[in-house]
Structure 1
Protein backbone atom coordinates (compact mmCIF):
# COMPACT_ATOMS: atom_id res chain seq x y z
CA UNK A 1 0.00 0.00 0.00
CA UNK A 2 1.02 3.60 -0.55
CA UNK A 3 1.29 4.38 3.16
CA UNK A 4 3.39 1.28 3.84
CA UNK A 5 5.75 1.54 0.87
CA UNK A 6 9.46 1.51 1.79
CA UNK A 7 9.91 4.62 -0.36
CA UNK A 8 6.90 6.51 1.06
CA UNK A 9 7.20 9.76 2.98
CA UNK A 10 6.11 7.86 6.08
CA UNK A 11 8.89 5.30 5.66
CA UNK A 12 11.49 8.02 5.26
CA UNK A 13 10.24 9.75 8.38
CA UNK A 14 10.35 6.50 10.35
CA UNK A 15 13.96 6.06 9.24
CA UNK A 16 14.75 9.57 10.46
CA UNK A 17 13.02 8.75 13.76
CA UNK A 18 15.35 5.78 14.25
CA UNK A 19 18.30 8.10 13.62
CA UNK A 20 17.03 10.39 16.37
CA UNK A 21 16.60 7.46 18.76
CA UNK A 22 20.18 6.36 18.09
CA UNK A 23 21.45 9.90 18.61
CA UNK A 24 19.51 10.32 21.85
CA UNK A 25 20.54 6.94 23.24
CA UNK A 26 24.07 6.30 21.91
CA UNK A 27 24.52 3.24 24.15
CA UNK A 28 21.33 1.61 22.84
CA UNK A 29 23.27 -1.45 21.66
CA UNK A 30 24.04 -2.22 25.31
CA UNK A 31 20.56 -1.54 26.65
CA UNK A 32 17.75 -3.77 27.89
CA UNK A 33 14.68 -2.27 26.20
CA UNK A 34 10.98 -2.89 26.75
CA UNK A 35 8.77 -1.91 23.82
CA UNK A 36 5.18 -1.17 24.80
CA UNK A 37 2.92 -1.92 21.83
CA UNK A 38 5.56 -2.97 19.31
CA UNK A 39 6.21 -6.19 17.46
CA UNK A 40 9.11 -8.57 17.02
CA UNK A 41 9.06 -8.02 13.25
CA UNK A 42 9.37 -4.25 13.64
CA UNK A 43 12.61 -4.75 15.58
CA UNK A 44 13.96 -7.17 13.00
CA UNK A 45 13.51 -4.46 10.38
CA UNK A 46 14.84 -1.66 12.58
CA UNK A 47 18.25 -0.20 11.71
CA UNK A 48 19.18 -0.24 15.43
CA UNK A 49 19.52 -3.23 17.72
CA UNK A 50 19.49 -3.17 21.54
CA UNK A 51 21.25 -5.84 23.57
CA UNK A 52 17.77 -7.25 24.27
CA UNK A 53 14.25 -6.03 23.61
CA UNK A 54 11.10 -7.33 25.28
CA UNK A 55 7.98 -6.56 23.24
CA UNK A 56 4.65 -6.24 25.08
CA UNK A 57 1.65 -6.29 22.77
CA UNK A 58 -1.97 -7.04 23.67
CA UNK A 59 -2.78 -8.89 20.46
CA UNK A 60 0.17 -9.73 18.22
CA UNK A 61 3.68 -9.32 19.64
CA UNK A 62 4.87 -11.82 17.03
CA UNK A 63 7.26 -14.71 17.43
CA UNK A 64 11.03 -14.74 17.67
CA UNK A 65 13.79 -17.33 17.45
CA UNK A 66 16.40 -14.69 18.16
CA UNK A 67 17.65 -14.58 21.74
CA UNK A 68 17.65 -10.77 21.76
CA UNK A 69 13.89 -10.43 21.04
CA UNK A 70 11.36 -11.56 23.67
CA UNK A 71 7.67 -11.29 22.66
CA UNK A 72 5.13 -11.03 25.49
CA UNK A 73 1.37 -11.04 24.94
CA UNK A 74 -0.12 -8.62 27.42
CA UNK A 75 -1.65 -5.23 28.13
CA UNK A 76 0.93 -2.44 27.91
CA UNK A 77 -1.20 -0.43 30.35
CA UNK A 78 -0.47 -3.15 32.91
CA UNK A 79 2.95 -4.03 31.55
CA UNK A 80 4.60 -4.94 34.84
CA UNK A 81 1.94 -7.53 35.55
CA UNK A 82 2.18 -8.90 32.00
CA UNK A 83 5.96 -9.15 32.31
CA UNK A 84 5.72 -10.78 35.74
CA UNK A 85 3.25 -13.36 34.40
CA UNK A 86 5.62 -14.09 31.49
CA UNK A 87 8.56 -14.53 33.86
CA UNK A 88 10.34 -11.43 32.64
CA UNK A 89 12.14 -8.68 34.50
CA UNK A 90 10.59 -5.59 36.03
CA UNK A 91 13.31 -3.02 35.35
CA UNK A 92 14.83 -2.00 32.03
CA UNK A 93 17.20 0.63 30.70
CA UNK A 94 14.71 2.14 28.26
CA UNK A 95 10.98 2.10 27.55
CA UNK A 96 10.20 2.54 23.86
CA UNK A 97 6.68 3.08 22.56
CA UNK A 98 5.73 4.09 19.05
CA UNK A 99 2.19 5.18 18.12
CA UNK A 100 0.46 3.29 20.93
CA UNK A 101 -0.76 5.80 23.49
CA UNK A 102 -3.47 7.09 21.12
CA UNK A 103 -4.96 3.57 20.86
CA UNK A 104 -5.26 2.38 24.46
CA UNK A 105 -8.80 3.57 25.20
CA UNK A 106 -9.13 6.98 26.82
CA UNK A 107 -7.50 9.13 29.47
CA UNK A 108 -7.43 6.58 32.30
CA UNK A 109 -5.65 4.02 30.12
CA UNK A 110 -3.22 6.59 28.76
CA UNK A 111 -2.36 7.64 32.31
CA UNK A 112 -1.83 3.98 33.24
CA UNK A 113 0.46 3.45 30.25
CA UNK A 114 2.53 6.49 31.19
CA UNK A 115 2.80 5.27 34.79
CA UNK A 116 4.05 1.88 33.57
CA UNK A 117 6.64 3.57 31.36
CA UNK A 118 7.92 5.70 34.22
CA UNK A 119 8.17 2.71 36.58
CA UNK A 120 9.83 0.30 34.15
CA UNK A 121 12.89 2.35 33.24
CA UNK A 122 14.68 5.65 33.96
CA UNK A 123 14.65 6.48 30.24
CA UNK A 124 11.81 6.54 27.73
CA UNK A 125 10.91 7.43 24.18
CA UNK A 126 7.12 7.63 23.75
CA UNK A 127 5.95 8.84 20.35
CA UNK A 128 2.43 9.61 19.17
CA UNK A 129 0.95 11.38 16.14
CA UNK A 130 0.06 15.00 16.84
CA UNK A 131 -3.66 15.65 17.07
CA UNK A 132 -3.49 19.01 15.30
CA UNK A 133 -1.57 17.94 12.22
CA UNK A 134 -3.96 18.66 9.33
CA UNK A 135 -4.02 15.09 7.98
CA UNK A 136 -5.09 12.23 10.24
CA UNK A 137 -2.16 9.78 9.97
CA UNK A 138 -3.96 6.43 10.19
CA UNK A 139 -6.33 7.12 7.31
CA UNK A 140 -4.44 9.97 5.57
CA UNK A 141 -7.68 11.93 5.45
CA UNK A 142 -7.60 15.70 6.10
CA UNK A 143 -9.19 16.65 9.40
CA UNK A 144 -10.70 13.23 10.07
CA UNK A 145 -9.92 13.49 13.80
CA UNK A 146 -12.18 16.55 14.10
CA UNK A 147 -15.29 15.02 12.48
CA UNK A 148 -18.26 13.58 14.42
CA UNK A 149 -17.73 9.92 15.27
CA UNK A 150 -20.39 8.58 12.89
CA UNK A 151 -18.95 10.51 9.96
CA UNK A 152 -15.43 9.40 10.88
CA UNK A 153 -16.59 5.79 10.76
CA UNK A 154 -18.20 6.25 7.34
CA UNK A 155 -15.02 7.81 5.97
CA UNK A 156 -12.91 5.04 7.52
CA UNK A 157 -15.08 2.39 5.88
CA UNK A 158 -14.72 3.89 2.40
CA UNK A 159 -11.45 5.82 2.25
CA UNK A 160 -8.90 3.86 0.15
CA UNK A 161 -5.69 5.17 1.77
CA UNK A 162 -6.09 3.65 5.23
CA UNK A 163 -3.32 1.38 6.52
CA UNK A 164 -5.84 -1.48 6.74
CA UNK A 165 -9.27 -1.23 5.14
CA UNK A 166 -11.97 -2.36 7.61
CA UNK A 167 -14.06 -5.37 6.61
CA UNK A 168 -17.37 -3.93 7.81
CA UNK A 169 -19.07 -0.79 9.06
CA UNK A 170 -18.87 -2.15 12.61
CA UNK A 171 -15.13 -2.67 12.30
CA UNK A 172 -14.69 0.85 10.92
CA UNK A 173 -16.57 2.26 13.91
CA UNK A 174 -14.45 0.21 16.31
CA UNK A 175 -11.24 1.43 14.70
CA UNK A 176 -12.14 5.11 14.94
CA UNK A 177 -13.35 4.64 18.52
CA UNK A 178 -9.98 3.11 19.40
CA UNK A 179 -8.06 6.02 17.86
CA UNK A 180 -7.87 9.19 19.94
CA UNK A 181 -5.05 11.54 19.02
CA UNK A 182 -3.60 13.84 21.67
CA UNK A 183 -1.68 17.10 21.79
CA UNK A 184 1.36 18.49 23.53
CA UNK A 185 -0.47 19.52 26.71
CA UNK A 186 -1.80 16.00 27.28
CA UNK A 187 1.53 14.31 26.55
CA UNK A 188 3.33 16.70 28.90
CA UNK A 189 0.79 15.94 31.62
CA UNK A 190 1.32 12.20 31.20
CA UNK A 191 5.10 12.60 31.29
CA UNK A 192 5.89 15.54 33.60
CA UNK A 193 9.56 16.41 33.57
CA UNK A 194 10.16 14.78 30.19
CA UNK A 195 11.27 16.75 27.17
CA UNK A 196 8.66 16.99 24.43
CA UNK A 197 10.16 16.75 20.95
CA UNK A 198 8.30 17.72 17.80
CA UNK A 199 8.70 15.85 14.52
CA UNK A 200 7.76 18.19 11.70
CA UNK A 201 6.56 17.79 8.14
CA UNK A 202 6.55 20.83 5.86
CA UNK A 203 7.25 22.97 8.92
CA UNK A 204 4.20 21.71 10.81
CA UNK A 205 4.31 19.42 13.86
CA UNK A 206 3.35 15.91 12.74
CA UNK A 207 4.31 13.79 15.75
CA UNK A 208 5.30 14.47 19.33
CA UNK A 209 7.65 12.49 21.55
CA UNK A 210 8.09 12.40 25.32
CA UNK A 211 11.77 11.73 26.02
CA UNK A 212 13.67 11.08 29.21
CA UNK A 213 17.29 10.19 28.56
CA UNK A 214 18.69 9.77 32.05
CA UNK A 215 17.84 8.88 35.66
Structure 2
Protein backbone atom coordinates (compact mmCIF):
# COMPACT_ATOMS: atom_id res chain seq x y z
CA UNK A 1 0.00 0.00 0.00
CA UNK A 2 1.66 3.23 -1.14
CA UNK A 3 0.31 5.33 1.74
CA UNK A 4 1.74 2.90 4.29
CA UNK A 5 5.17 2.94 2.64
CA UNK A 6 5.09 6.73 2.63
CA UNK A 7 4.13 6.81 6.32
CA UNK A 8 6.91 4.40 7.28
CA UNK A 9 9.35 6.48 5.25
CA UNK A 10 8.31 9.65 7.07
CA UNK A 11 8.65 7.96 10.46
CA UNK A 12 11.78 5.86 9.96
CA UNK A 13 13.75 6.22 6.75
CA UNK A 14 13.52 9.69 5.22
CA UNK A 15 15.99 12.52 5.93
CA UNK A 16 14.68 14.46 8.91
CA UNK A 17 12.48 11.58 10.11
CA UNK A 18 12.54 10.43 13.72
CA UNK A 19 14.63 7.45 12.69
CA UNK A 20 17.09 9.69 10.84
CA UNK A 21 17.45 12.02 13.84
CA UNK A 22 18.08 9.06 16.13
CA UNK A 23 20.74 7.71 13.78
CA UNK A 24 22.48 11.10 13.72
CA UNK A 25 22.42 11.29 17.52
CA UNK A 26 23.77 7.74 17.70
CA UNK A 27 26.74 8.65 15.49
CA UNK A 28 27.48 11.62 17.73
CA UNK A 29 27.38 9.41 20.80
CA UNK A 30 29.61 6.83 19.12
CA UNK A 31 32.15 9.55 18.33
CA UNK A 32 32.05 10.62 21.98
CA UNK A 33 32.79 7.09 23.18
CA UNK A 34 35.52 6.57 20.57
CA UNK A 35 37.19 9.93 19.88
CA UNK A 36 39.94 8.18 17.92
CA UNK A 37 37.47 6.44 15.58
CA UNK A 38 39.17 7.77 12.44
CA UNK A 39 42.33 5.87 13.44
CA UNK A 40 40.66 2.61 14.45
CA UNK A 41 40.24 -0.69 12.64
CA UNK A 42 36.60 -1.76 12.96
CA UNK A 43 34.85 -5.08 12.48
CA UNK A 44 31.12 -4.58 11.92
CA UNK A 45 28.99 -7.59 12.83
CA UNK A 46 25.78 -7.55 10.83
CA UNK A 47 26.17 -4.14 9.18
CA UNK A 48 26.67 -2.95 5.62
CA UNK A 49 29.41 -1.27 3.66
CA UNK A 50 26.90 1.34 2.50
CA UNK A 51 26.31 2.51 6.06
CA UNK A 52 30.01 3.17 6.57
CA UNK A 53 30.28 4.99 3.26
CA UNK A 54 27.59 7.38 4.53
CA UNK A 55 29.10 7.70 8.03
CA UNK A 56 30.18 11.16 9.23
CA UNK A 57 33.50 9.69 10.48
CA UNK A 58 35.44 7.19 8.38
CA UNK A 59 37.51 4.67 10.38
CA UNK A 60 40.96 3.71 9.17
CA UNK A 61 39.68 0.31 8.12
CA UNK A 62 36.33 -1.51 8.27
CA UNK A 63 35.63 -5.22 7.85
CA UNK A 64 31.92 -6.10 7.52
CA UNK A 65 30.66 -9.57 8.45
CA UNK A 66 27.11 -10.33 7.35
CA UNK A 67 24.99 -13.24 6.15
CA UNK A 68 24.08 -11.14 3.10
CA UNK A 69 26.56 -10.83 0.25
CA UNK A 70 28.32 -7.43 0.00
CA UNK A 71 28.32 -5.19 -3.09
CA UNK A 72 30.81 -6.13 -5.78
CA UNK A 73 32.69 -2.83 -5.64
CA UNK A 74 34.01 -1.67 -2.29
CA UNK A 75 36.42 1.18 -1.50
CA UNK A 76 39.90 0.08 -0.50
CA UNK A 77 39.30 0.84 3.19
CA UNK A 78 36.28 -1.52 3.44
CA UNK A 79 36.41 -5.31 3.17
CA UNK A 80 33.58 -7.78 3.68
CA UNK A 81 32.89 -11.42 4.37
CA UNK A 82 29.68 -13.40 4.05
CA UNK A 83 29.65 -15.50 7.22
CA UNK A 84 27.88 -16.26 10.50
CA UNK A 85 29.89 -14.86 13.39
CA UNK A 86 28.01 -17.06 15.89
CA UNK A 87 30.04 -19.94 14.43
CA UNK A 88 33.11 -20.06 16.72
CA UNK A 89 35.31 -21.18 13.82
CA UNK A 90 34.33 -18.07 11.85
CA UNK A 91 34.99 -15.77 14.81
CA UNK A 92 38.37 -17.41 15.41
CA UNK A 93 39.41 -16.79 11.81
CA UNK A 94 38.56 -13.08 11.67
CA UNK A 95 41.72 -11.78 13.31
CA UNK A 96 41.73 -8.88 15.78
CA UNK A 97 40.60 -5.28 15.51
CA UNK A 98 40.43 -2.15 17.62
CA UNK A 99 36.63 -1.96 17.80
CA UNK A 100 33.64 -4.26 17.32
CA UNK A 101 30.61 -2.34 16.08
CA UNK A 102 27.17 -3.90 15.83
CA UNK A 103 23.89 -2.14 15.22
CA UNK A 104 20.55 -3.96 15.69
CA UNK A 105 21.94 -7.44 14.98
CA UNK A 106 22.11 -9.41 18.22
CA UNK A 107 18.30 -9.65 18.37
CA UNK A 108 18.35 -11.50 15.01
CA UNK A 109 21.07 -14.12 15.52
CA UNK A 110 18.86 -16.87 16.97
CA UNK A 111 18.14 -18.09 20.48
CA UNK A 112 19.99 -17.49 23.72
CA UNK A 113 22.89 -19.82 22.90
CA UNK A 114 23.53 -17.99 19.64
CA UNK A 115 23.44 -14.66 21.48
CA UNK A 116 26.04 -16.05 23.91
CA UNK A 117 28.24 -17.02 20.96
CA UNK A 118 27.75 -13.58 19.45
CA UNK A 119 28.79 -11.91 22.71
CA UNK A 120 31.81 -14.22 22.94
CA UNK A 121 32.83 -13.17 19.41
CA UNK A 122 32.54 -9.51 20.42
CA UNK A 123 34.86 -10.11 23.36
CA UNK A 124 37.35 -12.05 21.26
CA UNK A 125 37.60 -9.73 18.26
CA UNK A 126 38.54 -6.40 19.87
CA UNK A 127 39.23 -4.70 23.21
CA UNK A 128 36.57 -2.06 22.46
CA UNK A 129 32.95 -2.54 21.45
CA UNK A 130 29.64 -0.88 20.73
CA UNK A 131 26.67 -3.28 20.54
CA UNK A 132 23.29 -1.62 20.06
CA UNK A 133 19.92 -3.38 20.17
CA UNK A 134 16.30 -2.15 20.35
CA UNK A 135 14.91 -2.29 23.89
CA UNK A 136 12.27 -4.96 24.44
CA UNK A 137 10.05 -2.71 26.58
CA UNK A 138 9.87 0.32 24.29
CA UNK A 139 6.14 0.72 23.51
CA UNK A 140 6.57 0.44 19.72
CA UNK A 141 8.28 -2.61 18.21
CA UNK A 142 10.81 -1.03 15.82
CA UNK A 143 11.08 -3.68 13.12
CA UNK A 144 7.36 -3.76 12.44
CA UNK A 145 6.56 -0.24 13.72
CA UNK A 146 3.63 -1.68 15.67
CA UNK A 147 2.65 -0.68 19.24
CA UNK A 148 2.96 -3.56 21.70
CA UNK A 149 3.68 -6.05 18.91
CA UNK A 150 6.45 -7.86 20.84
CA UNK A 151 4.09 -8.72 23.70
CA UNK A 152 1.51 -10.56 21.58
CA UNK A 153 1.46 -14.37 21.37
CA UNK A 154 3.57 -15.72 18.54
CA UNK A 155 0.62 -16.89 16.46
CA UNK A 156 -1.06 -13.48 16.79
CA UNK A 157 2.14 -11.74 15.65
CA UNK A 158 2.38 -14.02 12.63
CA UNK A 159 -1.22 -13.27 11.67
CA UNK A 160 -0.85 -9.55 12.20
CA UNK A 161 2.38 -9.16 10.24
CA UNK A 162 0.63 -10.38 7.08
CA UNK A 163 -1.77 -7.44 7.29
CA UNK A 164 0.13 -4.73 9.14
CA UNK A 165 1.01 -2.02 6.59
CA UNK A 166 4.15 -0.55 8.21
CA UNK A 167 6.46 -3.57 8.07
CA UNK A 168 9.77 -3.09 6.27
CA UNK A 169 9.26 -6.11 3.98
CA UNK A 170 5.93 -7.67 3.11
CA UNK A 171 5.51 -11.40 3.76
CA UNK A 172 3.78 -13.59 1.21
CA UNK A 173 2.36 -16.49 3.22
CA UNK A 174 1.91 -17.91 6.71
CA UNK A 175 5.31 -19.65 6.72
CA UNK A 176 7.13 -16.43 5.81
CA UNK A 177 5.15 -14.56 8.45
CA UNK A 178 6.14 -17.01 11.17
CA UNK A 179 9.78 -16.90 10.05
CA UNK A 180 9.70 -13.09 10.21
CA UNK A 181 8.40 -12.86 13.76
CA UNK A 182 10.44 -15.78 15.15
CA UNK A 183 13.56 -14.16 13.71
CA UNK A 184 13.36 -11.19 16.09
CA UNK A 185 13.94 -11.63 19.83
CA UNK A 186 14.20 -8.26 21.56
CA UNK A 187 16.42 -8.00 24.63
CA UNK A 188 15.93 -6.32 27.99
CA UNK A 189 18.46 -4.86 30.41
CA UNK A 190 18.97 -8.02 32.43
CA UNK A 191 19.98 -10.10 29.41
CA UNK A 192 22.24 -7.40 28.00
CA UNK A 193 23.98 -7.05 31.38
CA UNK A 194 24.34 -10.84 31.52
CA UNK A 195 25.78 -11.05 28.00
CA UNK A 196 28.16 -8.09 28.49
CA UNK A 197 28.90 -8.03 32.24
CA UNK A 198 32.04 -5.88 31.94
CA UNK A 199 30.51 -3.26 29.63
CA UNK A 200 28.78 0.02 30.28
CA UNK A 201 25.08 -0.22 29.42
CA UNK A 202 23.82 3.00 27.85
CA UNK A 203 20.22 3.92 27.12
CA UNK A 204 19.03 5.68 23.98
CA UNK A 205 15.82 7.53 24.81
CA UNK A 206 12.88 9.06 22.96
CA UNK A 207 10.79 11.51 25.01
CA UNK A 208 12.43 10.11 28.12
CA UNK A 209 11.54 6.49 27.31
CA UNK A 210 14.34 4.01 26.59
CA UNK A 211 14.23 2.96 22.93
CA UNK A 212 17.55 1.12 22.57
CA UNK A 213 20.29 -0.34 24.75
CA UNK A 214 23.99 -0.07 23.92
CA UNK A 215 26.68 -2.25 25.51
CA UNK A 216 29.88 -0.21 25.30
CA UNK A 217 33.48 -0.69 26.23
CA UNK A 218 34.71 2.83 25.40
CA UNK A 219 38.06 4.15 24.34
CA UNK A 220 40.06 5.25 27.38
CA UNK A 221 43.34 6.04 25.62
CA UNK A 222 42.88 7.05 21.96
CA UNK A 223 46.60 6.49 21.38
CA UNK A 224 46.55 2.80 22.35
CA UNK A 225 45.12 0.63 19.57
CA UNK A 226 45.26 -3.09 18.95
CA UNK A 227 47.21 -4.59 16.08
CA UNK A 228 45.05 -4.96 12.97
CA UNK A 229 45.00 -7.85 10.50
CA UNK A 230 46.56 -7.39 7.10
Q: TM-score, normalised by structure 1?
A: 0.93
- The answer (yes or no) to whether the contact 1:36–1:76 under 8 Å persists in 2 is yes
Distance 1:79 1:53 in 2: 21
Which residue number in structure 1 is paired with residue 210 of structure 2?
205
Q: Which residue of 31, 50, 59 maps to 1:50?
A: 59
Q: Which has the larger radius of gyration?
A: 2
Q: Which residue of 21, 40, 53 maps to 1:31?
A: 40
Q: Tell me which stretches of 4 or more aligned residues in structure 1 moved more than 4 Å.
A: none
Alignment of 1:165 with 2:174, yes or no, is no
Higher relative contact order (CA 8 A, sep 6+): 2
Structure 1 range deviating more: 24-33 or 75-84: 75-84
Alignment of 1:18 with 2:27, yes or no, is yes
Q: TM-score, normalised by structure 2?
A: 0.87
Deviations 1:55-104 (A, max 9, x none): 000123434431111011000213762673xxxx5110000000000001
Pairwise CA distance, 1:213: 1.5
1:74-89 pair list within 5 angstroms: 74-78=83-87, 81=90, 84=93, 89=94
- Give the alignment's Cα RMSD to 1 decimal: 1.6
Q: Which residue of 82, 98, 122 maps to 2:103?
A: 98
Which residue number in structure 2 is paired with residue 59 of structure 1?
68
Q: Structure 1 unaligned runs (5+)?
A: none
Q: Structure 2 unaligned runs (5+)?
A: 221-230
Which residue number in structure 2 is paired with residue 147 of structure 1?
152
SS state at 2:121 partner: helix
Number of equivalenced pairs = 211
